[in-house]
Chains A and B, each alone.
Chain A
Amino acid sequence: MAHSTQEVLAEIRRIAKDELQLDRSVQGSDELIQDLQLDSLGLTILAVGLEDRFRIRLTEEDSARVSTVADLASLVASRASGAQP
């Protein structure tokens, strides 16, 4: 089932607020590590939330090419649509 980047972005914002208790707004341009200050556990919480919601798998290799929230949203939307970027 196809999901838009906007839908993924909304889910990232929900996870950031409800599960990571981030008390700041999340923008597409935010760097996951530098701006949101996610450590390995924080990144795992985000990954599991997205995997369960969009029924996809994120791999170790993916982390090498994802740096911002927008990168992640775009990767998840693309993978959920069946493409393999």
Chain B
Amino acid sequence: MTSSDFENAPEILSVGRALPPHYADQETLIAALREEWVEQHYNLDRLEELHRAVQVSGRYLALPIAEYAALGSFAKRNEAWRRVAAELGESAIRSALRAAGLSPGDVDALFFVTVTGISTPSLDATLVNRLGLRPDVKRTPIFGLGCVAGAAGVARASDYLRSFRDQVSVLLSVELCSLTLQRKDLSVANMVASGLFGDGAAAVALAGARRHDSPRGPRVVAARSVFYPDTERVMGWEVIDGGFKIVLSAKVPQLVMQNIRRDVDSFLGAQGLDRTRIAHWIAHTGGPKVLQAFESALELPAQSLERSWRSLSETGNLSSASVLFVLGEFLEASAARPDDYGLLLAMGPGFCSELVLLRW
């Protein structure tokens, strides 16, 4: 990497985060689901085993627990998604802009990622109105990348700023996973998902190289997408009358173990780097097995993923928003020094991974 690559790289200015107000600890959630599933599963102790194994202590929910029973249809779930996603999305973007010292009128491009609800016009249109963004703001809604979309969104919002170097882009991720829970789905994948996934929103404000006078945040110096052929059934949604039904294979940690080291080494090698040069690892909180697979395959020093583990425990897996929560906490801690490198990474449906190289 040359110094001009660094000088021309977009900067991450800030991360805003928003969680819904309805917190439930894991025991409360287990009790609610036990009641629901008692007549369907013969051995409900499995539910507790699986929910404890994911190492999540609680989740923030889009709605109060009592209101989930009435969400039978896709229409009702999605209507709740539209309402809550607009509130959380607005809050996350306002928080990111405030931290960056920007106003809504400064935003030139808005990238919106989600996999938990749909609308046309997309949610970003609602947010243009609610936030008072400019009429010429460029909107790019991205649906379907799932957990990888936080990292991929940072990469795409940065790609944009390499062409428009005096502009500001905002990436918004809103994921309300609790609204997708299919109560009649008796699969183990659904039992795991019901214990693992939570709700939240995160927004990242980025500026092109000609926009930032005195950079403070990390530069996005390079990114790489890696697609794994013929793995479409590893993770995703099956769309049914009631909404989105989880597809989650037990093969996910195995895929991480088989691929991530080779892919990271190849990506870093192309930048003239190796893993020993990465001071900060900002990993998607896929779940305990995924984090262990990252640690093992990448031979990470102890505590490297401590923020990811903590985030997993505090909020669960927030799908695409998770890695942005970890990034936000990292930036707030001011733990990086000038010239440090960081790698932000996530994996998701496709199956695929996204690697984003940061430099301070």
Contact = CB atoms under 8 A, between A and B. Distances in A.
Contact of B49 (A21, A44, A55, A57): A44
Given A19-B187, A41-B192, A47 B253 contact: no
A45 B289 CA distance: 16
Given A44-B49, A51-B42, A51-B43, A39 B188 contact: no
**Size bracket, chain A contacts:** 10 to 19
B41 A48 contact: yes
Contact of A45 (B42, B49, B53, B250): B250
Interface string B37-69: 000111101100110010000000000000000
A35 to B, nearest CB: 16
B42 A44 contact: no
B250 A47 contact: no
B188 A55 contact: no
Interface in B336-359: none
Interface string A25-39: 000000000000011
A48 B43 contact: yes
A39 B49 CA distance: 15
B192 A47 contact: no
B64 to A, nearest CB: 29
A41 B41 contact: no
B197 to A, nearest CB: 16
Nearest to B46: A48
A58 to B, nearest CB: 8
A44 B233 contact: no
Contacts of A45: 188, 250
A56 B41 CA distance: 11
Contact of A52 (B41, B45, B250): B41
Given A21-B233, A51-B42, A44 B188 contact: yes
A39 B249 CA distance: 12
A20 B250 contact: yes
Contacts of A58: 43
Given A44-B50, A47-B46, A57-B43, A52 B253 contact: no
Nearest to A38: B250
A51 B45 CA distance: 11
Contacts of B118: none
Interface in A39-79: 39-42, 44-45, 47-48, 51-52, 55-58
Contacts of B46: 44, 47-48, 51
Nearest to B192: A41
B34 to A, nearest CB: 15
17 contacts: A19-B187, A21-B233, A21-B249, A38-B250, A39-B253, A40-B53, A41-B188, A41-B289, A42-B250, A44-B49, A45-B188, A47-B46, A48-B41, A48-B43, A48-B188, A51-B41, A57-B42
Interface of B: 40-43, 45-46, 49-50, 53, 186-188, 191-192, 233, 249-251, 253-254, 289
Interface of A: 19-21, 38-42, 44-45, 47-48, 51-52, 55-58
